[in-house]
Amino acid sequence: MLHNTGEDSILVPVGGSEFSGVVRGNKTVGAMLELLKEGTTEAAMVDALKSRFKAPEGMVEEDVSRILAELRSIGAIDD
């Protein structure tokens, strides 16, 4: 379950999820989690975030890759 507080986004497992714990992130992480709920590719996620947030070249790609890797490593998302 995803909850947005305005400044933070909080991901909490529900049901039979293997993930246990809470993920707290900024607006970028929240936008990524919303896109993941809709079902998207990493490339489509990068494009969507580039149009939403202004960031130096390459930063969005690096952030998306890093955050997805972290979420995978703790079992918060599956591929």
pLDDT band at 9; cut points 50, 70, 90: confident
pLDDT tens digits along 19-68: 777 888 888 888 898 898 888 999 999 999 999 888 888 999 999 999 99
pLDDT band at 73; cut points 50, 70, 90: confident
DSSP track, 15-58: TT-S--S-EEE-HHHHHHHHHHHH---HHHHHHHHHHHS---TT
Question: With pLDDT > 90 as the criterion, what percentage of the chain qualifies?
Answer: 33
Domain ranges of the chain: 2-73
Specify the pLDDT at position 12. 82
